[in-house]
């Protein structure tokens, strides 16, 4: 049974108001086996989720770049529902090294990364291609110019940016025009400094995708310590504090589409239900 969910807009697409962050399925030390990952993605889709966020750099090791994209592609190929309604959003611009993570925002690197992502996802054109993180060694306009070329070559249907400040969002919007549809920055009860970026997105009509919306892998329990109102309001509704957290983010602006991560079906099914959790003005005021 495939459920429907309240929807929001990215470009000309309608997607469920809650998306799925696929990263926890490719994190060394946290990673479930492939069968569990596929069940998790299918549970998300069955719950009405139609936005899946991934990246080429989501991989348990630098030797397996594209791991998460291939997992998402495999899960979609095995799902019985309408995959045309699912928007897969990937990213390029972060590199993986034996020691960790780096960035490369050069146009040549992005062109090659996009070609690798097309192959990993098994598609002719990527639904939403996001630049992962600004590279201080490359002028931002050059990096964003590469996204424009990828769009104009038909390799990506929409462009997004991530970890961008208000000035970078405006610059990218000037260069990309309607090709730019989304901004993905960190935002959660413990990390609120993206408020100005949410306002710029609302002004420009861009979707804002909060990353680590529950505080990040292994930190979702911190909601309890941070603000007891999340627990009290959750108890009053008979739901989890994580649902209250996601509903609080949805209430922040109609452009917000949280992408909670999951590596288990239970957690993403619980998070998906936040799309229909209405919080009162009084409850929102208590959550701050
Ligand atoms: N653009 C960027 O630079 C950037 C950076 C970081 C993340 N991201 C994206 O943002 C997504 C979300 O961030 P995140 O995965 O780092 O952190 P998160 O969404 O804040 O937390 C993910 C963790 O929360 C748990 N969880 C999810 N729903 C829950 C629920 N209803 N109740 C209890 N626990 C729940 C999951 O546990 P289980 O694993 O046990 O299911 C998962 O490990 C990522 O997956 C990735 O796609 C982007």
Domain ranges of the chain: 7-222+253-278
Ligand 1, residues at Cβ distance < 6 Å = 21-24, 53, 132, 162-163, 184, 211-217, 220, 240, 242, 259-264, 267, 270-271
> Which tokens is 37 given?
């990952």
Four-point Cα dihedral 160, 82, 12, 173, nearest 10: 0
- For the structural domain made of 7-222+253-278, what CATH number should be given? 3.20.20.100
pLDDT tens-digit profile of 173-212? 999 999 999 999 999 998 999 999 999 999 999 999 999 9
pLDDT in tens, 55-85: 999 999 999 999 999 999 999 999 999 999 9
By the 8 A CB rule, do 52 and 13 touch? no
Q: pTM for the complete prediction? A: 0.98
Long-range contacts from 234-237, C-beta under 8 angstroms, 24+ separation:
237/277
Supply the pLDDT for residue 282. Answer: 97
Q: Which of left, alpha, beta for 48 (phi over 0: left; psi -120 to 50: alpha)? A: left
Mean pLDDT of the region 125-151 = 98
Specify whether the CB–CB gap between 217 and 225 falls below 8 A.
no
CA of 174 to the centre of ligand 1 (A): 31
Residue 209 CA: nearest ligand 1 atom is 10
Atom 4 (ligand 1) nearest CA: 211
Confidence of residue 221 (pLDDT cuts 50, 70, 90): confident
User: What was the pLDDT predicted at 18?
Assistant: 98
CA angle 234-193-238, nearest 5°? 5
Where residue 225 falls among pLDDT bands split at 50, 70, 90?
low
Mean pLDDT, range 87-116, rounded to an integer: 97
**Ligand 1, atom nearest to 264 Cα:** 41
């Amino acid at each position: 049974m495939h459920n429907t969910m309240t929807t929001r807009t990215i470009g000309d697409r309608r997607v469920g108001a809650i998306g799925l962050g696929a990263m926890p399925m490719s994190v060394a030390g946290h990673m479930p086996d492939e069968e569990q990952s596929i069940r998790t993605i299918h549970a998300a889709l069955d719950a009405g989720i139609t936005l899946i966020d991934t990246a080429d750099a989501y991989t348990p090791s630098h030797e397996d770049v594209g791991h998460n994209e291939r997992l998402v592609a495999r899960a979609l190929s095995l799902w019985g529902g309408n995959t045309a309604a699912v928007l897969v959003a990937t990213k390029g611009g972060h590199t993986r090294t034996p020691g960790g993570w780096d960035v490369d925002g050069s146009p040549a690197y992005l062109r090659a990364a996009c070609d690798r992502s097309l192959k990993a996802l098994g598609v002719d054109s990527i639904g939403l291609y996001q630049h992962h993180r600004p590279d201080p060694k490359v002028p931002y306009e050059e990096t964003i110019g590469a996204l424009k070329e990828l769009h104009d070559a038909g390799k990506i249907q929409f462009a997004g940016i991530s970890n961008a400040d208000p000035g970078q969002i405006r610059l990218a919007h000037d260069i990309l025009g309607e090709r730019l549809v989304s901004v993905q920055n960190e935002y959660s009860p413990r990390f609120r400094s993206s408020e100005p970026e949410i306002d710029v997105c609302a002004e420009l009509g861009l979707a804002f995708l909060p990353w680590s919306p529950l505080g990040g892998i292994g930190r979702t329990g911190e909601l309890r310590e941070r603000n007891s109102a999340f627990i009290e309001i959750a108890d009053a509704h008979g739901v989890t504090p994580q649902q209250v957290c996601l509903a609080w983010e949805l209430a922040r602006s109609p452009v917000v589409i949280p992408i909670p991560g999951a590596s288990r079906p239970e957690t993403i099914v619980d998070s998906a239900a936040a799309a229909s959790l209405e919080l009162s003005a009084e409850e929102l005021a208590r959550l701050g």
